[in-house]
């Protein structure tokens, strides 16, 4: 899919971004890693940067607080940021753009800066494939290309100059519903293995 088509897809998307729904959860999990200067790539509506004083957000689709930008070609100086967020972004990138994006994030981070990211955990991509009724073209309903495990994300991040500081599998789909669901999540997961999960990762620039 061409970049213009991708931009049009997200510009016309009427549903709430996953990263927006989970912004407070992600913020609370990563508070101690947030430095003086913060960048959020793929910032969506800007829900996360609203929680962080002075934070900058970019996305393919801009709005009043999020600037238009492309994670594969960040228009920022080297060593600009203490912390970079990419929530529900990497799964959308093909191999070439994934490598470019991680290299760009590494470049704009200060030495010992933190990269905080979330991706769907071990997603079965085939389950969310849909077909256009007119042309029968098959595609993932959320434009996901990659499925990530702990081992895969560790390997890719290390190859691009990052060490893992924290990694965990979180049932964010339950956390979104409130604190009672969060408390009950271990029991729910025991009996409902199909609950979607998210990989929460904090990596440090080597």
40: which 2 tokens?
A: 């959020």
pLDDT at 119 over 80: yes
pLDDT digits (tens, 9 = 90+) for 68-106: 999 999 999 999 999 999 999 999 899 999 999 999 999
Percent of the chain with pLDDT over 90: 63
User: When comparing pLDDT for 116 and 189, which is higher?
Assistant: 116
How far apart CA 74 and CA 77 sit, in angstroms, is 9
Task: Name the pTM for this structure.
Answer: 0.83
Whole-Å CA distances, 43 to 15, 23, 39, 117, 202: 15, 10, 9, 12, 17
How much is the pLDDT for 183? 84
Please determine, looking at this structure, whether the domain spanning 3-205 carries the CATH number 3.40.50.720.
no
pLDDT digits (tens, 9 = 90+) for 128-163: 545 555 555 555 455 679 899 999 999 999 999 999
């Amino acid at each position: 899919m061409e970049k213009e088509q991708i931009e049009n897809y997200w510009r016309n998307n009427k549903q709430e971004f996953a990263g927006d729904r989970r912004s407070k959860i992600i913020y609370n999990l990563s508070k101690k890693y947030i430095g003086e200067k913060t960048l959020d790539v793929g910032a969506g509506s800007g829900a996360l940067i609203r929680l962080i004083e002075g934070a900058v957000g970019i996305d393919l689709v801009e709005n009043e607080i999020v600037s238009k930008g492309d994670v594969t070609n960040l228009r920022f100086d080297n060593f600009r940021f203490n912390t970079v967020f990419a929530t529900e972004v990497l799964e959308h990138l093909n191999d070439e753009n994934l490598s470019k994006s991680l290299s760009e994030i590494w470049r704009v981070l200060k030495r010992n800066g933190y990269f905080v990211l979330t991706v769907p955990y071990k997603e079965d991509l085939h389950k969310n494939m849909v077909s256009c009724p007119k042309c029968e073209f098959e595609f993932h309903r959320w434009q996901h290309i990659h499925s990530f495990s702990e081992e895969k994300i560790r390997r890719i991040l290390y190859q691009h100059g990052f060490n893992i500081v924290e990694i965990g599998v979180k049932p964010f789909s339950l956390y979104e519903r409130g604190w009672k669901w969060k408390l009950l999540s271990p029991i729910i997961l025991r009996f409902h293995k199909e609950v979607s999960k998210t990989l929460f990762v904090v990596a440090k620039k080597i």
